[in-house]
Structure 1
Amino acid sequence: MFSVTVRDHLMVAHSFRGEVFGPAQRLHGATFLVDATFRRPELDADNIVVDIGRATQELGAVVAALNYRNLDDEPDFAGVNTSTEYLAKVIADRLAARLAEGALGEGARGITGISVTLHESHVAWASYDLVLRGS
């Protein structure tokens, strides 16, 4: 399996519901380093997984839609605890939608998986692995 990873960063504000979150139940800021990994079993005709420039651009666009937002005020997240794990899935799903629309180029149609990791710090991170069918 081949893979290419591109990176960006994300800054949001949000709060959580539930005792498990302790003081994070109050509004607070979070800054994440975002890694998106694209996987495929075979390279395309140009011997690449995905055009790194396009992958970087599309990750940037997905992140920009969330960046500097209070997620508590976003309709897409109404009533949702926007945990690190959950946000990793949101970003992976949005990248998959862009892939399906052709935004990553025709050669990228062979991508069979997207993994997104959100690093909360140098000692803690969460990931979501999305398996794609029929890309």
Structure 2
Amino acid sequence: MYSLTVADHVMVAHSFKGEEFGPAQRVHGATFVVEAEFRAPKLDRLNLLIDIAAARVELRKILDSFDYNNLDELPEFAGQNTSTEFLCHFIHGKLAEAIRAGRFGEGAKGVESIKVLLRESPLAWAACEAPL
């Protein structure tokens, strides 16, 4: 299995609902390093797994949709606790949509799974990995 990873970052504000979250129930900021790993069992005819430039562009487009925003105020996150795990799943879904729509080019047709990892700090991170 081959893998290729691109990375970027995003800065957000958000709050959580539920006593379990203690002080995180108040609005607070978070900066996430976002890694998107694409996996395929073989390379395409050009010996590529996926076009790195296309992957970086699509990841940035997704992140731009909520970067420097309060997630509590965005309709796509209404009523959700936008946990690190939730955001991994959200980004994964958007990347999968982009691949299915052909925005990664022909070579991406061999991608079988994507893993999205968000690093909240050097000591804590979460990931979502699923097949396409």
**What TM-score bracket applies, with the shorter chain setting the length?**
over 0.9
Partner of 1:63: 63
Q: What runs of 5+ residues in structure 1 fail to find an aligned partner?
A: none
C-alpha distance in 2 between matches for 1:32 and 1:123: 12
Structure 2 residue 92 is matched with structure 1 residue 87: no
Q: Share of identical aligned residues, percent?
A: 53
Structure 2 residue 24 is matched with structure 1 residue 27: no
SS in 1 for 2:67: coil
C-alpha distance in 1 between matches for 2:76 and 2:54: 26
C-alpha distance in 2 between matches for 1:76 and 1:61: 15
> Size of the alignment, in residue pairs?
132
The 5 Å alignment of 1:100-111 reads: 100-111=100-111
SS in 1 for 2:16: coil
TM-score norm. by structure 2 comes to 0.98
TM-superposed CA distance for 1:66, in Å, is 1.2
Partner of 1:78: 78
Partner of 2:47: 47
Q: Match for 2:89: what amino acid?
A: K
Moved over 6 A (4+): none
C-alpha distance in 2 between matches for 1:59 and 1:97: 12
Taking only aligned residues, the RMSD between alpha carbons, in angstroms, comes to 0.6
TM-score norm. by structure 1 comes to 0.96
Partner of 1:4: 4
SS in 2 for 1:120: strand
Q: What runs of 5+ residues in structure 2 fail to find an aligned partner?
A: none
Partner of 1:128: 128
Once the two structures are superposed, what CA deviation does each residue of 1:86-111 show, in whole Å capped at 9, x if it has no partner? Answer: 00000010011011111100111110
C-alpha distance in 1 between matches for 2:54 and 2:126: 24
